[in-house]
Amino acid sequence: MNEHVSLPVPAEEATQRPNSRKVFIKTYGCQMNVYDSVRMGDALASEGYVTTEEMADADLVLLNTCHIREKAADKVYSALGRLREMKKTRAAEGREFMIGVTGCVAQAEGEEIVRREPAVDVVIGPQTYHRLPQALKSARTGRRVVDTEYAVEDKFEHLPKAEKAATRARGVTSFLTVQEGCDKFCTFCVVPYTRGSEVSRPLAQILDEAHRLVDAGVREITLLGQNVNAWRSEGPDGREWSLGDLLYRLADVPGLARLRYTTSHPRDMDDKLIEAHRDLRSLMPYLHLPVQAGSDRILKSMNRRHTAAEYLRLIERIRTARPDIAMSGDFIVGFPGETDADFEDTLRLVEEVGYASAYSFKYSTRPGTPGAELGDQVPEDVKSERLERLQALLLKQQADFAKSCVGKVIDLLLEKPGRMPGQVIGRSPWLQSVNVDAKTSQIGDIIPVRIIGTGPNSLFAEPAERLMRA
């Protein structure tokens, strides 16, 4: 999960537009919010804005918010209080300073944001951020804009295409949203209410963006969606294509070396997608497949519409198709009504699956969701004790998986310079951060390395050819 990202400024763009307005975008939450922040930067670039990594330099600050976790709105209002003071200082200096709130908190709170914090100029939901330039123009006339209606038009069609230089500056890996929204209505989740129903981007639109990314130097693309494997679109053969079909097509894009996707729902994991894991070497052997709990009773109360046994059988099928695949998952402990026996069922499921990584959280009520109305809430101290036990098990499994990688030779995509001279950081096929001394290689290269050690959050490697010469 990403707490903050600021968009890098291509050097040539910064020098060509010395008098441009500057925007600082703070991103909370998921990978899709990171993608949305990038696209908001693209939309504002067409209006003369350049991104900055320093909030103090910005003429516009956007908070791209997430509403998944408890007290998400409180964090936003706290940040807005600090921005209000910055706005007062700028006004005294006769300088423009605008504030915008975007994303899921914007969608959920709407008019309440400008009521509680009048310093805010624009509030834009996740389906309407393509209208951000127009909203800012209106706000400059003194009219605050709140736009949280679900757009009738396709926002992706209205967003400008990113300049090649801007895309290249963002690195050799990229997110690409293919699906938004959710129709599953899990009782703990706000996504159907903040992101809307499931909508898939058309195949041609996705392929066009993928080709432009690769043309700008991107070597790895991660397809994004709230339920990414619910993606559907008409294919060139006239039939309905699924995510598996899309992956087969993207695997043929020249220069695109690696594919990933997240986040998936077990109910949408169809045969074609499993076959793609079997057949496509460019599809990385890593799958984030949330289960949330191991108790059938709790899964039913969550409205997950699958049982623990069905989930385990699905894992078995996936591993049969791709034996080297690493599994990741999401877990919620302390859902209303969860007993000690229910929690033990979750621990047993974790033991049986063996996760390479996972995210785990205490249940927190989300206003407006069915879970918030349930009785039999679990005491906080019980939630904390259960979370501690679950995380201890998951961390052990993660460490065991990392140790199992030592001695393996893997292909490593080099993504960015490391902290030490000559050090480069990349990602393993299983999404682990890997540090390697690769002075003779360049960012974007894919080189064979041998894993030689593990750290708390990363692996260490040496180029495989160096070890063979030795």
Neighbours of 152 (CB within 10 A): 6
Residue of 443, 410, 408, 398 whose CA lies nearest to 425: 443
170 domain residue, yes or no: no
Cα(35)–Cα(341) distance, integer angstroms? 40
Specify binding-site residues.
Answer: 30, 66, 104, 182, 186, 189
Reported as a single tens digit per residue, the pLDDT across 159-209 is 767 777 667 777 999 999 999 999 999 999 988 988 888 999 999 999 999
Domain boundary among 104, 128, 147: 147
Cα(341)–Cα(360) distance, integer angstroms? 18
Domain boundary among 88, 118, 147: 147
191 domain residue, yes or no: no
* Residue pair 380/388 in contact by the 8 Å Cβ criterion: no
Q: Domain holding 444: CATH number? A: 2.40.50.140
Q: Domain holding 70: CATH number? A: 3.40.50.12160
Domain that holds residue 58: 11-147
Specify binding-site residues for [4Fe-4S] cluster.
Answer: 30, 66, 104, 182, 186, 189
Domain boundary among 147, 168, 195: 147
Cα(359)–Cα(357) distance, integer angstroms? 7
422 domain residue, yes or no: yes
Q: What is the DSSP string of 369-385?
A: SGGGG-S-PPPHHHHHH
173 domain residue, yes or no: no
Residue 3: burial class (beta carbons within 10 Å; 0-12, 13-18, 19+)? exposed
Spell out the per-residue pLDDT of the chain, length 470, in tens. Answer: 333 333 344 444 443 444 589 999 999 878 888 999 998 998 898 888 999 999 999 999 999 998 876 677 788 899 999 999 999 999 999 999 999 999 988 988 899 999 999 999 999 988 888 899 999 999 998 889 999 887 656 777 767 677 776 677 779 999 999 999 999 999 999 889 888 889 999 999 999 999 999 999 999 999 999 999 999 999 999 999 999 999 999 999 999 999 999 999 999 999 999 999 999 999 999 999 999 999 999 999 999 999 999 999 999 999 999 999 999 999 999 999 999 999 999 999 999 999 999 999 999 988 789 998 998 999 999 999 999 999 999 999 999 999 999 999 999 999 999 988 889 999 999 999 999 998 888 999 999 999 999 998 899 999 997 544 33
80 domain residue, yes or no: yes
249 domain residue, yes or no: no
Residue of 301, 308, 396, 372 whose CA lies nearest to 339: 301
Indicate left, alpha or beta for 247 from its phi (over 0: left) and psi (-120 to 50: alpha). alpha
| Structure tokens given for 346 | 């979750």
237 domain residue, yes or no: no
Cα(316)–Cα(299) distance, integer angstroms? 20
Predicted TM-score of the model (pTM): 0.85
Cα(300)–Cα(100) distance, integer angstroms? 39
Residue 326 has phi, psi (to 5 degrees) of: -105, 135
Residue 153's pLDDT is 60
Residue 175 DSSP SS3: strand
122 domain residue, yes or no: yes
Number of structural domains the chain divides into: 2
Show Cβ contacts of residue 348 under 8 Å, excluding neighbours closer than 6 positions: 294
Amino acid at site 114: V
